[in-house]
Amino acid sequence: MTDPDPDARGARAIVRKPLLRALDGEAVSPPPLWLMRQAGRYLPEYRALRAEVGSFLDLCYAPDKAAEVTLQPIRRFGMDAAILFSDILVVPHALGQDVAFREGEGPVLPPLAAADDLARLSLERLHERLSPVYETVERVAGALPAETTLIGFAGAPWTVATYMVEGGSSRDFAATKAWAYDDPAGFDALIALLIEATAAYLDRQVRAGAEVVQLFDTWAGVLPPDAFRRWAIAPVQAIVARLKTDHPGVPVSGFPRGAGLMYPEYAAATGIDGIGLDTAVPPEQAAALLQPHVTVQGNLDPLKLVAGGAGMAAAVADILGALSSGPFIFNLGHGIVPQTPPEHVATLIDLVREGPR
């Protein structure tokens, strides 16, 4: 083993960084905190830097700027973790599908229609195209405060596949489900390509300095149980198995948004260390059904953070009351929205660090 040995560095960190202690199963007090989409348009310093670059993807592929944007919320608020600034759609882009982000419209891709389109995608240039992201990870890893954990991430195969097949965001996922249900073996080929790309991508993030990785499955909740097992659980299980073989000390979190009653099965079957709770999960149910097995992360409604005040304080107290005596990481139930007042984020962090009253 002539490698720089990223795992040894991770293992040393487990004994000291609060977020890694929580992911190792410890009830840390006060609980560590980070927020999904903590870098972004609600921060004036992000908007200023964003205005300097052409497109959102240009920002994702500019290591100096992406590293700066990753660090902005840490400097301002001192969260316990920084999450790499990038996007889940850099993977289809690196596989050879065009991806554009249009102002006010979200992502736009030429929809993948079937096996022919799939054959045009390739793993060959994956790392070459994603190398700026690895450089961002390296830069952030070298610049973070000693107690702050660096989280890498990718989209889970199902969610990434929905953007590839629908050509962007969707209300009903009709095209993706039509492919999956009419030709499950053909759709499995797309999922298999995404498993391979995602495992390789996350491996490189870890080698570059990511200490935890999270898989975002934003649209897991639209799948009925059998399809959920095949396209949400099985692919994540395969990616986790790959990562655990190469990097046994690096925790993996999953965010199967909308999974509802499938949450416990997802937690047990995928082999993840941490699970992100969406806004609808009752914290006391998570304490009973999930927390004995995995570290739970969540789940303040991002719109409560926008509202602030007594409503936010009460919701934070409920979550802390139910979950803070076990392995727990405070977070939102989905990403921060652009209209969030930055002062409310500062207040939220104070509330969490003061503990339940």
9 is catalytic: no
223: left (phi over 0), alpha (psi -120 to 50) or beta: beta
**Max Cα–Cα distance, the chain, nearest Å:** 59
Told to check if 76 binds ligand CP3 by CB under 6 A, we report: no
User: Considering 87, 203, 217, 273, which one is annotated as catalytic?
Assistant: 87
Q: How far apart are CA 352 and CA 313, in angstroms?
A: 9
Is residue 169 involved in binding ligand CP3 (CB under 6 A)?
yes
For residue 42, give the nearest of 78, 13, 3, 69 by alpha carbon: 69
Binding mask 203-242 for ligand CP3 (x = CB under 6 A): -------------x-x------------------------
Q: Which of 21, 41, 16, 42 is nearest to 31 (CA)?
A: 21
Query: Would you call 257 a catalytic residue per the annotation?
Result: no
Nearest-approach distance from CB 103 to ligand CP3, in angstroms: 7
37 given a catalytic annotation: yes
The end-to-end CA distance of the chain, in Å, is 50
Determine if 252 is a binding residue for ligand CP3 (CB under 6 A): no
Q: Which is nearer to ligand CP3, 154 or 323 (CB)?
A: 154
Name the one range near ligand CP3 by CB under 6 A: 25-33, 99-107, 308-316, 344-352.
Answer: 99-107
Q: How far is CA 147 from CA 17, 19, 120, 300, in A?
A: 5, 9, 44, 24
Q: How near is the Cβ of 274 to ligand CP3 at its closest, in Å? A: 15
Residue nearest to ligand CP3 (CB): 218
Number of residues this chain uses to bind ligand CP3 (CB under 6 A): 21
SS3 184: helix
163 is catalytic: yes
Give least dist CB 73 to ligand CP3, A.
7
Task: Work out which of 30, 335, 342, 356 binds ligand CP3, going by CB under 6 A.
Answer: 335
Query: Rounded to an integer, what distance in angstroms lies between the CA atom of residue 357 and that of residue 350?
Result: 13
Residue 153 found at the interface with ligand CP3 (CB under 6 A): yes
- HSE-CB at 297 with a 13 A cutoff on CA atoms is 30
Using CB under 6 A, which of the segments 25-33, 35-43, 120-128, 170-178 binds ligand CP3?
35-43
